[in-house]
Amino acid sequence: MPDILNDEQVTKILHGITVPPQPQVIVDIQMEQAMPDPDMAYIAKLICQDVGLAGTILKVVNSHLYGLKNKITSIEQAVNILGMDSVINISNGLSIKGEMDNETIIALGGFWDSAMDIASVCATIARQIGYQAPDLAYSLGLFHNCGVPLLIKEHPNYPDVMKESYKCQDDRIIDTENRFLRTNHAVIGYYTAKSWKLPQDFCDVIAEHHNVKDIYNTELNKGYDPGKKTLLAILKMSEHICGLHNVLGKQSVDHEWEVIKESLLEFVGLSVMDFDDIAAEMESAGIGSGTSYYDQSA
């Protein structure tokens, strides 16, 4: 196991990583690094706020360089394994590689904010329903839309495609993306998560997070893995609470949620009142839009 990653190792690690880091997070990490006694826990907290940087950290710790028997999905655990110097070297390398113009930074603003909020809500819901791995739920919330910034970088019209995708009541969001772009953010997110060496089930959930209508149709998916189904339920509840349909899709109605909400809540054992209580708790913490089970306003 290497003590500190050198420049050559960092360059190899960053090959193929294209999810841009959030500029302010990089600045905050560099400022903490410059302190006389840098706080590793604070740096880990900063990394937890950024999709690209957190994914790269997990890719490193799950690589052959560290030879771990089990895949790591906890960002805090990964940071502790890597150590301060390696984390800083990766952060600096990704900062140089991920330089963006102001237009791209502005376009990604909603993505970064929503990713962190959804991750926080995922961890909260996981604890509320007794899911045994809230760190895994947090990571899913952070990473599940990691294909979005890649498509924004590749297709300048992607924000408009997202609006059209979230507007459709009958088609899946990814169907509209496939029609306009010949690909979609779930597929790209899957392969990005694979490149970060994340567990296969975790990658599968990213790939399937807009197939929820069929997954929660008991007749169609009797054999679907219940662990993945629970993770998907946590994610979709969190997306709705955080108003992702409005943040990314600029739509007032979450059509996907309207289709799955009854069977999803039944699966995880939450009542309508339970769900609304969680949403209210998140709103009081400054997360989400006060949405509820019944929100259907046009």
Encode pLDDT of 99-138 as tens digits: 556 666 666 767 777 888 898 899 999 999 999 888 889 8
pLDDT higher than threshold 70 for residue 234: yes
pLDDT of residue 180: 93
Q: Residues near 277 by Cβ (< 8 Å), separated by ≥ 6? A: none
Q: What does residue 73 show for φ and ψ, rounded to 5 degrees?
A: -120, -10
Q: Where does residue 67 rank: exposed (0-12), middle (13-18), buried (19+ CB within 10 A)?
A: exposed
Residue of 226, 197, 213, 298 whose CA lies nearest to 261: 213
Provide the residue type at 146 as one letter. Answer: C
- 205, exposed or middle or buried, with CB in 10 Å at 0-12, 13-18, 19+? buried
Residue that has been written with the tokens 């007749």 in this structure: 219
Residue 176 pLDDT > 90: yes
How far is the CA of 239 from the CAs of 179, 182, 205, in angstroms? 23, 25, 14
Judge whether 144 and 235 are in contact, CB under 8 Å.
yes
Residue 140 CA to residue 144 CA, distance in Å, equals 5
- The number of residues making up the chain comes to 298
What's residue 20's pLDDT?
A: 63
Burial environment of residue 92 by CB neighbours within 10 A (0 to 12, 13 to 18, 19 or more)? middle
Give the mean pLDDT of 139-150.
Answer: 88
Residue ranges per structural domain of the chain? 7-97, 102-284
Q: What is the pLDDT, as a whole number, of residue 96? A: 45
Of 4-18, 62-76, 150-164, which range is least confident? Answer: 4-18
Closest CA to 73 of 145, 123, 23: 123
Q: Tell how many helices (H) and how many strands (E) occur in the chain.
A: 19, 0
Q: What is the CATH number of domain 102-284?
A: 1.10.3210.10
Residues whose CB falls within 8 Å of the CB of residue 73, separated by 6 or more in sequence, listed in order: 58, 133, 135, 136, 139, 198, 199, 202
Question: Which pair of tokens denotes residue 85?
Answer: 């110097």
Confidence of residue 49 (pLDDT cuts 50, 70, 90): confident
Instruction: Of 18-22, 40-44, 163-167, give the lowest mean pLDDT range.
Output: 18-22
The one-letter amino acid at 66 = Y
Average pLDDT score, the chain: 83
Q: Sign of the C-alpha dihedral, residues 188, 140, 197, 76?
A: positive
CB within 8 A of 223, min separation 6: which ones?
Answer: none
Is 60 exceeded by the pLDDT of residue 16?
no
